[in-house]
């Protein structure tokens, strides 16, 4: 981009597609193609999904400021819309698109086009009947109050009528006492009359009803569509767990090959990939470090055609974005293939860029015997990598130790590049390659020293608490299946990192649940790849304030535990629950094929439980033909849950196809312990994990102690 040239750009994009706006030369494109003196005139618009960002250079500093401030205000206002406002925004947008001649009126033809756009197919007779009912002026078009009448008919929800009328026992309306009865008996909340009055004050729109401390049907619907009526417990939106336990007592949101935007063979490496992961509360990122040109180390997927990014640029991006979503510690997992000189430069860059946030010595003033807590490590960076000596050397007055020495490489790239197949088709054992390690880099490794795993007994007798092993997924899954109890006890004092097999060249993912069941903390996934596995990761770390740290259940933390997820025995982990769920309806599901105006979805809902093998189960509704706007199922399922503390609930909404695989419409996942009972709205997310602004499910849930 030549900043001296003025280019006129025309682009059409919805504000719903914008993820963020960043002031200055923060994108790789602007850093590469502009000079430092235009910093204050630059800004970038980043979009959701895989759409490329838009880099812009304004004609003046003031113009750039106005653009950034204006866009940030619009994005902020969009995020503040409640569910009803979001729904109205979406519907009226669709109406505007259907109004082809922009006359603010709607003909019958435009009405039918609009209905198809909002994902509902109606026959000619019904469309005409609906139109005639609203066209009170007999003008052949709908306008003003007639469009409002049409909107009210369209968005009328029969299921809400039934629920409201059942509980509105005071002159056809809900009194505060009626609402309290609903909260206590239907929603199973520990509520008081003050809570009911607060909800009326907050959500009732009719002043006369509010004056009488009553809630009308409109106010009731408004309440159901807010966070109080959400499936996700609002108390879990903030940090609510004890954060003072050692960090190995937590599941830690972790990324693999964090630098990649796509596949592992020829995809781009980017600082943007780190930013996206960190903004999703990822607390352990991977840096695959190699010698680069001009003496500067680079990050990329070794021995492949993936592009390279400067190590120092990655460290700068991490420093900038590490603690924007979560204030808890970030682990930098180093895969080091650099020569001594470039290793020294890596250490220098981390020390100078991360400054006092970089942990360079234990927090204690004497040799520690256990990990510090996330609370104690707030705002700190922890380096995971090879170390030349024991941590005790930090407190020793003896010689500083060797300046350099050979250590075994033992990483995933060595495993994939050195493995050969024998004549029987079996993988031969990879030879351990050696690499020289510089003291400057070694000294930065404090609580996460990488060591080879030689068995649980060896680890118990010989391994210090700060010495941690990385496991390839196949080995980890095998241990989780055949030696789960030993794995759990290993993780009570040590950290374990699991990573995807090198054969996953398309950056696919493995199921993290069996590894969490075995108490593994750092279960690293390819964050860049939308998948069921990433849905589960997003669900696991949705609670506890999006901190990226989830305290493991107590039975995975105390030394005397006999818990084994594979063979359940009696113990405190068994909290037998009967989980009843009714899938009632969905609202405003998106069209999947926008290029085909007549294409309407046939939605069905899958309800899935993930946890210990005994609890893992899936059930699904029938499909509803040609209706993505307001399909209704009213189907009930029951699940038998043994270990609720490890269970997650996932909703999957799909477009049914008799001849091929169903297409994803939306999904949502959360820990079973974070749901609210009763009538609840469920938000839906896109394949890449972004909220679909207008869409949702309406369900009734009851998680009760089994008799």
Q: Which residues are annotated as a binding site?
A: 257, 286, 288, 335, 384, 386, 470, 497, 600, 602, 626, 655-657
Q: Which helix (H) or strand (E) holds 163?
A: helix 158-167
Cα separation of 505 and 503, whole Å?
Answer: 5
CA dihedral 398→400→402→408, nearest 10 degrees, is 100
Name the catalytic one among 301, 337, 489, 700: 301
Cα separation of 591 and 588, whole Å?
Answer: 9
Three-state DSSP state, 356: helix
The DSSP secondary-structure symbol of 41 reads G
Q: Which residues contact 395 (CB under 8 A, 6 or more apart)?
A: 366, 367
Name the catalytic one among 256, 490, 667, 700: 256
CA angle centred on 230, ends 212 and 704, rounded to 5°: 100
Q: Which helix (H) or strand (E) holds 143?
A: none
Cα separation of 58 and 35, whole Å?
Answer: 14
Phi, psi at residue 25, to the nearest 5°?
A: -90, 65
* Burial (Cβ within 10 Å: 0-12, 13-18, ≥19) of residue 56: buried
Cα separation of 104 and 100, whole Å?
Answer: 9
The DSSP secondary-structure symbol of 355 reads G
Concerning whether 294 is annotated as a catalytic residue, the answer is no
Are the CB atoms for 601 and 655 separated by under 8 Å? yes
Cα separation of 414 and 411, whole Å?
Answer: 5
Concerning whether 301 is annotated as a catalytic residue, the answer is yes
Three-state DSSP state, 287: strand
Find residue 550's DSSP bridge partners. Answer: 251
Q: Which residues contact 494 (CB under 8 A, 6 or more apart)?
A: 248, 459, 463, 465, 467, 468, 469
The region that residue 255 occupies, defined by phi over 0 for left and psi between -120 and 50 for alpha, beta otherwise, is: beta
- Which residues line the annotated binding site for Ca(2+)? 257, 286, 288, 335, 600, 602, 626, 655-657
Cα separation of 264 and 303, whole Å?
Answer: 10
Q: Which helix (H) or strand (E) holds 311?
A: helix 311-321
DSSP 221-249: HHHHTSGGGBSB-GGGGS--S---S-GGG
Q: How far is CA 416 from CA 149, 303, 337, 360, 501, in A?
A: 64, 10, 14, 32, 9
Are the CB atoms for 251 and 523 separated by under 8 Å? yes
Question: Parallel, antiparallel, or unpaired for β 691-705 and 577-587?
Answer: antiparallel
Q: What does the radius of gyration of the chain's CA atoms come to, in whole angstroms?
A: 28
Are the CB atoms for 543 and 700 separated by under 8 Å? no
Q: Which segments within 392-441 are labelled E, that is strand?
A: 404-408, 434-438
Are the CB atoms for 231 and 680 separated by under 8 Å? yes
Cα separation of 552 and 495, whole Å?
Answer: 13
How many Å from the N-terminal Cα to the C-terminal Cα in the chain? 69
Are the CB atoms for 175 and 213 separated by under 8 Å? yes
- Active-site positions read 256, 301
């Amino acid at each position: 981009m030549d900043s001296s040239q003025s280019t006129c750009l025309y682009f059409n994009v919805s504000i719903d597609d914008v993820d963020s706006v960043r002031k200055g030369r923060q994108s790789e494109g602007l850093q590469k193609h502009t000079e430092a003196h235009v910093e204050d005139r630059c800004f970038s618009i980043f979009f959701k999904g895989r759409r490329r960002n838009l880099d812009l250079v304004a004609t003046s500093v003031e113009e750039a400021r106005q653009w950034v401030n204006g866009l940030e205000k619009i994005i902020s206002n969009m995020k503040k819309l409640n569910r009803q406002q979001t729904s109205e925004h979406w519907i009226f947008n669709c109406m505007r698109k259907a109004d082809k001649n922009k006359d603010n009126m709607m003909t019958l033809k435009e009405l039918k086009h609009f209905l198809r756009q909002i994902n509902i197919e109606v026959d000619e007779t019904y469309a005409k009947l609906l139109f005639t009912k609203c066209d009170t002026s007999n003008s052949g078009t709908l306008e003003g109050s007639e469009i409002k009448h049409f909107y009210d008919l369209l968005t009328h929800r029969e299921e809400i009528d039934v629920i409201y009328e059942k509980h509105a026992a005071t002159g056809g309306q809900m009194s505060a006492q009626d609402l309290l009865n609903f909260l206590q008996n239907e929603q199973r909340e520990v509520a008081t009359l003050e809570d009911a009055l607060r909800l009326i004050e907050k959500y009732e729109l009719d002043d006369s009803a509010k004056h009488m401390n009553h809630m009308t049907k409109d106010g009731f619907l408004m309440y159901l569509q807010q966070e109080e009526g959400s499936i996700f417990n609002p108390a879990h939106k903030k940090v609510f767990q004890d954060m003072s336990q050692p960090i190995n007592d937590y599941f830690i949101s972790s990324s693999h090959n964090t630098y990649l935007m796509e596949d592992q063979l020829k995809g781009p490496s980017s600082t943007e990939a780190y930013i996206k992961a960190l903004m999703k509360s990822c607390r352990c990122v991977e840096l695959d470090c190699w010698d680069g040109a001009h003496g500067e180390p680079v990050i990329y997927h070794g021995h492949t055609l993936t592009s390279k990014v400067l190590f120092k640029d990655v460290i700068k991006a991490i420093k900038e974005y590490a603690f924007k979503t979560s204030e808890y510690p970030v682990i930098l997992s180093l895969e080091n293939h650099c020569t001594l000189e470039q290793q020294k430069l890596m250490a220098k860059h981390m020390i100078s860029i991360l400054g006092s946030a970089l942990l360079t010595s234990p927090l204690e003033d004497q040799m520690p015997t256990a990990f510090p807590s996330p609370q104690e490590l707030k705002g700190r960076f922890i380096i995971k990598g090879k170390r030349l000596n024991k941590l005790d050397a930090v407190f020793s007055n003896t010689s500083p130790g060797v300046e350099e020495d050979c250590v075994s490489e033992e990483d995933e790239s060595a495993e994939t590049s050195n493995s050969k197949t024998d004549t029987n088709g079996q993988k031969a054992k990879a030879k351990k390659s050696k690499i020289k390690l510089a003291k400057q880099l070694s000294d930065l490794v404090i609580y996460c020293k990488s060591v080879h795993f030689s068995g649980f007994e060896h680890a118990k007798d010989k391994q210090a608490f700060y010495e941690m092993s990385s496991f390839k997924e196949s080995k980890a899954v095998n241990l989780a299946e055949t030696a789960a109890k030993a794995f759990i006890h290993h993780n009570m004092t040590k950290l374990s990192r699991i990573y995807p097999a090198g054969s996953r060249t398309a950056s696919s993912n493995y199921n993290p649940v069996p590894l969490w069941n075995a108490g593994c903390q750092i279960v690293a996934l390819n964050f860049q790849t939308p998948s069921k596995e990433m849905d589960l990761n997003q669900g696991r770390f949705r609670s506890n304030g999006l901190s990226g740290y989830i305290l493991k259940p107590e039975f995975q933390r105390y030394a005397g535990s006999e818990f084994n997820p594979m063979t359940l025995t009696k113990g405190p982990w068994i909290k037998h629950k009967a989980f009843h769920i009714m899938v009632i309806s969905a609202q405003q599901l998106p069209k999947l094929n926008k290029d085909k105006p007549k294409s309407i979805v046939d939605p069905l809902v899958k309800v899935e439980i993930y946890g210990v093998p005994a609890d893992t189960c899936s059930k699904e509704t029938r499909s509803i033909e040609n209706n993505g706007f307001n399909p209704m199922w009213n189907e009930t399922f029951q699940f038998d849950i043994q270990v609720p503390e490890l269970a997650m609930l996932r909703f999957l909404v799909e477009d049914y196809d008799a001849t091929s695989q169903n297409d994803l419409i939306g999904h949502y996942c959360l820990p079973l312990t974070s749901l609210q009972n009763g009538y609840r709205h469920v938000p839906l997310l896109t394949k890449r994990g972004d909220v679909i602004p207008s869409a949702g499910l309406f369900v009734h849930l009851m998680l009760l102690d089994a008799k």
